Amino acid sequence: MIEARGLSKRYGDKVAVDELSFTVRPGRVTGFLGPNGAGKTTTMRMILGLDRPTAGSVTVNGKPFAELYSAMREVGALLDAKAVHGGRSAYNHLLCLAETNSIPRRRVDEVIGIVGLEDVAGKRSKGFSLGMSQRLGIAAALLGDPDVLMFDEPVNGLDPEGIRWIRLLMRSLAAEGRTVFVSSHLMSEMENTADHLIVIGRGKLIADCPMAEFTADGTSQAATVKSPDDQRLADVVTAAGGRLERGEADELTVRGLSAEQVGQLALTNGVLLHYLAPVRVSLEEAFMELTADSVEYQAKTGG
């Protein structure tokens, strides 16, 4: 369980995290989403006590991180896979971490097996691919067999097989009753992984809801229609608060109204429809819509 209350971090004038309050619960995968620069990493660093909050507080299992009895047995974290001394072998890296919390050596061998790094455990991690580094970072997080796991952008730079592996791992960790908190700037990565979402933008909380609720959000409704009387349909739909976009051929996309609402409007106003279908808004689109106003660095498209 991770609990943030009014958590804030300012660097000079710049607000990185702005009064965040949320609870990450055990037994499920909680996705931590936001565009790049939204404050996800800063939030995770504050959870781990690496950065001091400017205001507010965050606890893990009810205690500030620095006061945990045996940090590794309670929290395992992967912040940056390349944050290891490249001159040290994978085995020695894990061993030096394990020793701090009196974790037996056999557990080091065990986690090397879990992440499948047996063949390269004796090699210096300098030569590791990003995928191997991610596995080493995950092995380190698993060392203490902790109740709470945090992964910052764990699938960055991984091949599809690696992404699938991490996804299954996170699901099984949550199924064992652990708290799994995983950040990403890509909605698509969360689609089959997370049960719950916490979305932030510019350091502020935008959404904190179950995955299903996120996609069913009212702002994300849309339908595709075809009608011989485009103009009348446009008037009716606009009057009801929908927005029209011209699609391929004679298709129109209505945003802001569900297919049911569009059908009802057409019937009431006597507009003939040749085609009507709900648009399944992908998580990606819902996410983009929610965070559009809070993207830190936005590319301006010409035209």
Partner 1 sequence: MTTTAVPAVPARVRAVPPVSRRPGLPGALRSELIKIRSVRSTYWTLLAQALASIAWAVLFCAGTVSHWATESPQDQAQFNAAHASLMGQVALGELIIVVLGALVITSEYSTGMIRTSLAVMPRRGVLYAAKAIVFAGVTLTISLITSFVAFFVGQAILASKHINTTLAQPGVLRAVLLSAAVVTVFGLFAYGTGALIRHTAGAITTILGVIFLIPVLAQALPSSWYQDIVRWLPGGQALSPIASSAPPLASDHLFSAWGQFAVFSGYAVILLALGAWSFIRRDA
State the residues that interact with partner 1 by CB under 8 A.
25-28, 45, 48-52, 65-66, 68-73, 75, 77, 79-80, 82-89, 92, 95-97, 99-104, 107, 110, 140, 143-145, 175-178, 196, 208-210
The minimum distance between CB 137 and partner 1, in angstroms, equals 8
Nearest CB to partner 1, comparing residues 1 and 277: 1
Q: Which is nearer to partner 1, 126 or 246 (CB)?
A: 126
Q: Report d(CA 290, CA 293) in Å as an integer.
A: 8
CB of 51 to partner 1, least distance (A): 4
Q: Which is nearer to partner 1, 55 or 277 (CB)?
A: 55
| Strand partners for 277 | 224
281-294 burial, b for 16+ CB within 10 Å, e for fewer?
bebeebbeebbeeb
Which residue number, 83 or 272, has a Cβ lying nearer to partner 1? Answer: 83
Instruction: Tell me how far apart the alpha carbons of residues 159 and 151 are, in angstroms, rounded to a whole number.
Output: 17
124 DSSP β-pair partners: 89
Q: For CA atoms 166, 169, 174, 175, give the dihedral sign.
A: positive
Distance (Å, whole) CA 92 – CA 185: 32
- Give min distance, CB of 110 to partner 1, in A: 7
Q: Minimum Å distance from CB 78 to partner 1?
A: 9
Rounded least distance, CB 103 to partner 1, Å: 5
Query: By the 8 A CB rule, do 249 and 235 touch?
Result: no
* Least distance between partner 1 and beta carbon 286 (Å): 17
Angle between helices 90-100 and 105-115 (to 10 degrees): 130
Retrieve residue 191's tokens: 């689609």
Reference 152, options 76, 97, 96, 58; nearest CA is 76
Cα–Cα dist 180/174, whole Å: 6
Between 102 and 231, CB nearer to partner 1: 102
273/246 Cα distance (integer angstroms): 15
**Residue 33's closest CA among 300, 301, 288?**
288
- Min dist. Cβ of residue 147 to partner 1 (A): 9
3-state helix, strand, coil in the chain (%, to 5): 40, 25, 35
Contact in structure between 188 and 3 (CB atoms under 8 Å): no
Nearest-Å Rg of the Cα atoms of the chain is 23
Q: For partner 1, which is the closer residue by CB, 173 or 271?
A: 173
- Rounded to a whole number of angstroms, the minimum distance from the CB of residue 164 to partner 1 is 24
